[in-house]
Structure 1
Amino acid sequence: MLDENQNDSVQHRAEIRTIARAAGLPAEWADAQIDADATVTEARAAAFDEIQKRGRTVPTIRVTGSNDDPAQIQTRAADALAYRMAGGELPDASREFVGMSMRDLAAESLTRSGVSTRGMSADEVFHRSLGTSDFPLVVSNAMGKVAAQAYKAAESPLKALARQRALPNFKTSTSIRIGEMGRLEEMTEDGEFTHTNRAEAGESMSLKTFGRAINVSRKLLIDDDLGLLGDMTAAMGQAAAQTEAEELVKLFTGNPNLSDGTAVFHASRGNTAAALLPVLSEAALTAARKHMRTVKGLDGKTIINAVPKYLVVSPDLETDAEKMLATIYAATTDDVQPIKLTLVVEPRLTGDAWYLLADPASVPSIQYAYLSATQGVQIQRQEAWDTLGLKYRAFLDFGCGWLDWRGAFRSEES
């Protein structure tokens, strides 16, 4: 038989569990109260607090757009069309459109516009959809997605070395650099600080527009040849990336004059390899790194410590550069300041010239820009009565230029 104390303990635990069940609390909560030797009164108060907490909980309200929203329908249809053109990932919301042919998408667009397609031939559906539905916009959006993917995949590695800007128009833009302040001066006995004048320098650049036209023929629409359309569109994206790359390469190979009338790489600046060290080697990199670390700013006095981050070479030097860097890394792992460079191979460079550039976040050397409203490759429909089908244009508003010579070093051709 249970003695009186045991009976009281069993009853005490039972009462706490009853309180928990009545309050909708889990068994773990009751166990915690029992383990803490809480009285029935304390357990009842704790349960009341839990109920109060639940009452104050604000429910989460999810707001979602309607599936009938025209903008969302266009997006879902364009995503499905882009998937059929070039593969990739298909959003779940677009699965309802992925099995539709171009004719089906055009008919669907007409139906949403209030036009019945019953009895229409494929030619009639396409002809009507070009002017009275959102079908051309769906195709344009899908082409834009495919072109953007191809453009991104083909981007020049030189863009990682540059600072990006967005310009509001096509006027010449000058980037003003303010010189270094140097060190802070000690306060005078009168409690004043010395005023300072800072040097300024500016380099100019402007945007250009590059583009090509692309026709989506009536035959391509009727034949539902999305593979061909995808290839044509991807080629436009790749062409845009190629254009950017060639413009950036010109900055290196052209060695233009800066606003001071001197070329970017010039013996007077000290940022070209000496005749005795033209070949890529550890000794050449050491000399170049020393120069960049000790180069002075616009004031001619302040050392700006332009630490090199990127080694840029052509495919001709790629293997030699990889071997040399691997040897250096293996030999300098324990050094306080080991040589750590990111190898950048630009396939459009040729010969055995090599370049060092500092991190653009600290000492920017080159810049590139897009028109603020149209960054990257753009696909836009053209109104054309001389084409049976759809006519689009792919264009790019792009410009690039040098910002400063201090964060750059170039070897001489051997």
Structure 2
Amino acid sequence: MSSQKNLSVMRPRASITPTNKPGESWYSLRAAQQRGVVEVMLYDEIGAWGITAKQFARDLAALGDVSQINLHIHSPGGDVFEGTTMYNLLRGHSARVVVYIDGLAASMASVIAMAGDEINMPANAMMMIHKPWGGQVGDADAMREYADLLDKVESTLIQAYTRKSGKAIEDIQALLKAETWMDGNEAVAAGFADKVLDPFKAAAQLTSKRMQEFTNMPTSAQNLFNPRASAPTPAPAPTPAPAPTPTPAVDPAPVALTLDQMRAQVMAADGARRTAINAAFCGSLVTSHTELLNTCLNDLSCTAEMAREKLLVALGSTTTPTGGPNHHGHISNGNLVGDSVRASLAGRLGQAENQKDNAYNHMSLRELARASLHDRGILVATLDPMAMVGLAFTHDSSDFGNILVDSAAKSVLLGWDEAPETYHLWTKKGRLSDFKVASRVGMGAFPSLREVRPGAEYKYITTNDRGEKIRLATYGEMFSITRQAIINDDLDQLSTVPYNMGLAARGTIGDLVYDTLIHSPVMSDGKELFDASRNNLFSGTGANMSIEALSKAKTAMALQKTEVEGGKARTLNIRPAFVLVPVALEDKTNQLIRSASVPGVDTNAGIDNPIRNFATVIAEPRLDDDSPVTWYEAARQGADTIEVAYLDGVEQPYMEQQQGFTIDGVTSKVRIDAGVAALDYRGLNKSVGVVATKAR
């Protein structure tokens, strides 16, 4: 008896084996006459001898930016894992996918068809869905593990069918179990296709032995297969004897491998696998982890890479400090893998502390992408890094892309919160519900209330129609999180870049506010915001920063009155709460306002400072760019000075995906909808000082 426990394994399928290898290859991809449209012909068995996912991905990526993919299918199916990858590639592509089932979409080909945004079938075309199947040679444990694998594969196929048809999982399971065949009309009625086309002759007959694997094939579907694929190869017809030759006749290459040859191939591959696994358990690891080594060696599905991952987990379990076995519990929303990946990434980005019991701590972005798939039972051992990361972005069961976007969004908000801006300390915050021009009524629009004598009528107040205008605008930029960034472990794409975009978003609002303040826009009455006739603009040497200048501006603001027709003007008694100064005047202004006595009265320190602590000093570098000696006074926050309005009151930048996840990554845009406008001149004044000249 052989000591080898697992002799051979067959991948879940319809998988391609030496006995059903197609004789021809009908695969093509070309640009259509219509700009931006590409024709893809899937006329082959899916798998190693037909169309591989790697080939398909390469050709699909080479198309560049296209708006529509017309996918023509005439295929009996093939390898489950290759087909699943093709399905994900099509689902994640930004183009609209229109599927035409030209003859047959059976088994895995029907799953690929489900990726279409629109599925068209001639009335005489056929679609077949069934349970995945395969074979395993080995002991009872190996059989059970393989059965579990088939169940997992079936669950992934069911997701594709339910998404398209809208049927319940139980209904799909029943159809798979029965090996259900549908013509065009039946497929549309069942929700697996969208439109029935007129019957036409099949594009070609399939040369495949796969019809021998189908147990419930209707006669109409058998016509789609070349007869030579459904019967044993007939004996060659007798031919005239050729002229004698000294060399013996050479038999044609066998169509199928013998059992001994297949066993030899399997054992050779397994020998290489065992050698690689033994190399991973080097030195003392052989003795310290003997049981794990034997488990990996005896599991035919365990690759060297998977063995190394298991070894790392085993090593980590013995070295990670813990507080005892009772400290390994994890209470969350049930998504242990996603929660752990999210927490690990937050720790690396400095957004949170590392969790001591998190097995994903300190993993690179590439390792986290692999874990997001592998730890959910998605096989990635055969994928190259680019394909693996692309699958992590697009697979329905992986939330890796969403985790990256959420982490980047946190960086955007952190940049917004930490932006060194000052406008929000003194301006009025407003809210607009749309992008139409809105009018604001200022504090000077209302006169004193009139007396209402007993029994007299109330009269309507008359206000002017010169309300100040304000309108929202959208400001934003885009950035990408690419496969290359994940493979290169480029954390800047999740931290520094979005953080700086958050800084820029708030800085943009600051630019708008101080541009309005500095350039004194024309108000609805035809005058500029700051005008000497408004008694809110002061200039000359008397406007230089001093106690006298501060007091003069403060008094002028308090004496501002309403301006209405047909009513008595009312003094508003507005008190300045902020002094806005360039950085060049910050220290001097603080000294003037905070000092207990007036400057220059050293011999009599008992003279009180009349403006002590009357306002808060806010220094803004943008004011230096305009003038180092010009300064402003502003009323309390919330008064009608300058308003910053946000769409629906949301004053933080919003981050959204541009076109969803693709195999190349995800492009996101950071935007903020805001509007800035001066509301009323009475709550603001401006003092334009004079730069002192030095005598020569």
Amino acid at match of 2:581: V
Identity of aligned residues (%): 23
Rounded to whole Å, the distance in 2 between the matches of 1:80 and 1:306 is: 53
Equivalent residue in structure 1 for 2:674, among 398, 402, 405 = 398
Q: Is the 8 A contact 2:440 2:469 kept in 1?
A: yes
SS in 2 for 1:174: strand
Alignment partner of 2:672: what SS? strand
CA positional deviation for 1:271: 0.1
1:382 aligns with 2:658: yes
The answer to whether the 8 A contact 2:641-2:681 is kept is yes
Partner Cα distance (2:338, 2:597) in 1: 53
Shift of 1:372: 2.2
Q: 1:308 to 1:73 in 2, by over 3 A?
A: farther
Q: Which moved more, 1:193-202 or 1:380-389?
A: 380-389
State the secondary structure of the residue aligned to 1:103.
helix
Correspondence 1:251 to 2:527: no
Deviates more, 1:380-389 or 1:119-128: 380-389
Compare the two structures and name the one with the higher helix fraction: 1
Shift of 1:240: 1.2
Task: Please tell me whether residue 192 in structure 1 is matched to residue 456 in structure 2.
Answer: yes
Within 5 Å, which residues of 2 pair with 1:166-205? 166-177=431-442, 179-183=445-449, 185=451, 188=453, 190-192=454-456, 195=459, 197-200=461-464, 201-205=466-470
| 1:358-390 residue CA offsets vs partner (Å, 9 max, x unmatched) | 0033x3201112222853222222238999443
Q: CA deviation at 1:247?
A: 1.0
Higher Cα Rg, which structure: 2
Per the TM alignment, residue 77 of structure 1 is displaced from its structure 2 partner at its CA by 4.6
8 A Cα contact 1:181 1:198, kept in partner: no
Letter of the structure 2 residue corresponding to residue 353 of structure 1: T
Q: Could you tell me how far apart the structure 2 residues matched to 1:332 and 1:73 are? A: 70
Letter in 2 for 1:101: S
Counterpart mapping for 1:6-405 below 5 A: 67-69=332-334, 77-78=341-342, 80-85=344-349, 87-90=350-353, 98-110=361-373, 115-132=378-395, 133-177=398-442, 179-183=445-449, 185=451, 188=453, 190-192=454-456, 195=459, 197-200=461-464, 201-227=466-492, 229-299=494-564, 301-327=569-595, 338-350=612-624, 351=627, 352-361=629-638, 363-372=639-648, 375-383=651-659, 388-405=664-681
Q: Secondary structure at the match of 1:261?
A: coil
Asked whether the 8 Å contact 2:467–2:524 carries over to 1, the reply is: yes
CA–CA distance in structure 1, aligned partners of residues 646 and 339 of structure 2: 25
Gapped regions of structure 1 (runs ≥ 5): 1-64
- The letter of the residue matching 1:226 is L
From the superposition, tell whether residues 248 and 304 of structure 1 become closer, same or farther in structure 2 (CA, over 3 Å). same
**Contact kept? 1:181, 1:196, Cα under 8 Å:** no
Contact 2:632 2:686 in 1 (8 A): yes
Distance (whole Å) between structure 2 residues aligned to residue 95 and residue 245 of structure 1: 41
Is the deviation greater in 125-134 or in 282-291? 125-134
Seen in structure 2, the aligned counterparts of structure 1 residues 233 and 329 have a Cα distance that, compared at 3 Å, is farther
Contact kept, 8 Å, 2:640 with 2:683, in 1: the verdict is yes
State whether residues 328 and 339 of structure 1, in contact with CA within 8 Å, keep that contact through their aligned partners in structure 2: no
- Report the CA distance between 1:325 and its aligned residue: 2.0
Do 1:271 and 1:408's aligned partners in 2 also have CA atoms closer than 8 Å? yes
1:318–1:373 distance in 2 versus 1, CA, 3 Å:
closer
2:551–2:611: 8 Å Cα contact kept in structure 1? no
Distance 1:411-1:345 versus aligned 2 partners, 3 A rule: same
What SS does structure 2 have at the residue aligned with 1:349? helix
Q: Which amino acid aligns with 1:375?
A: E
Task: For residue 270 of structure 1, report the CA deviation from its aligned partner.
Answer: 0.5
Superposed CA offset, 1:312-347 (max 9, x none):
011222222222223367789978985521111111
Q: How many residues align?
A: 345
Worse-matched range after superposition: 364-373 or 330-339: 330-339
Q: Distance in 1 between matches of 2:357 and 2:622?
A: 39
Superposed displacement of residue 252, structure 1:
1.1
- Output the CA distance in 1 between the equivalents of 2:438 and 2:606: 43
Inter-partner Cα distance in structure 1 for 2:448 and 2:340: 56
Asked if structure 1 preserves the Cα contact closer than 8 Å seen for 2:539 and 2:688, the reply is: yes
Counterpart residue identity of residue 341, structure 1 = A
Counterpart-to-counterpart distance in 2, 1:73 and 1:162: 45
Contact 1:150 1:235 survives alignment (8 Å): yes
Contact 2:595–2:612 (CA<8 Å) still a contact in 1?
no
Report how far residue 114 of structure 1 moved: 6.2
In structure 2, the gaps of 5 or more residues are 1-329, 599-604, 691-696
What code does the residue aligned with 2:379 have? S
Quickly say closer, same or farther: Cα 1:140–1:170, change in 2 above 3 A: same
The answer to whether the 8 Å contact 2:595/2:609 transfers is: no
How much does 1:113 deviate? 6.8
| Structure 1 residue 157, shift from structure 2 partner | 0.5
Instruction: Give how far 1:69 is off.
Output: 4.6
Q: Is the 8 A contact 2:393 2:663 kept in 1?
A: no
Of structures 1 and 2, the one scoring higher in RCO (CA 8 A, sep 6+) is: 1
- For residues 368 and 375 of structure 1, the distance between their equivalents in structure 2, rounded to whole angstroms, comes to 9
SS of residue paired to 1:324: helix
Q: CA deviation at 1:279?
A: 0.4
Moved more, 400-409 or 345-354: 345-354
Residues 329 and 340, structure 1, Cα contact 8 Å, conserved in 2: no
Match of 2:448, as an amino acid? Answer: G
Secondary structure of the 2:441 match is: strand
Which whole-Å CA distance do the structure 2 matches of 1:246 and 1:94 have between them? 46
Q: CA deviation at 1:304?
A: 1.2
RMSD between superposed Cα atoms in Å:
3.3
Amino acid at match of 1:261: G
Which piece of structure 1 moves more, 304-313 or 150-159?
Answer: 150-159
Structure 2 letter corresponding to 1:115: I
Q: Is the 8 A contact 2:581 2:619 kept in 1?
A: yes
The answer to whether the Cα contact below 8 Å between 2:478 and 2:667 also exists between their aligned partners in 1 is yes
One-letter amino acid matched to 1:358: A
What's the CA shift string for 1:46-88, capped at 9, x where partnerless?
Answer: xxxxxxxxxxxxxxxxxxx972455x97677546424422x24
Structure 1 residue 127, shift from structure 2 partner = 0.8
CA contact (8 A) 2:542 2:549 kept: yes
Q: What's the TM-score, normalizing by structure 1?
A: 0.73
Question: How far is 1:183 from its partner?
Answer: 4.8
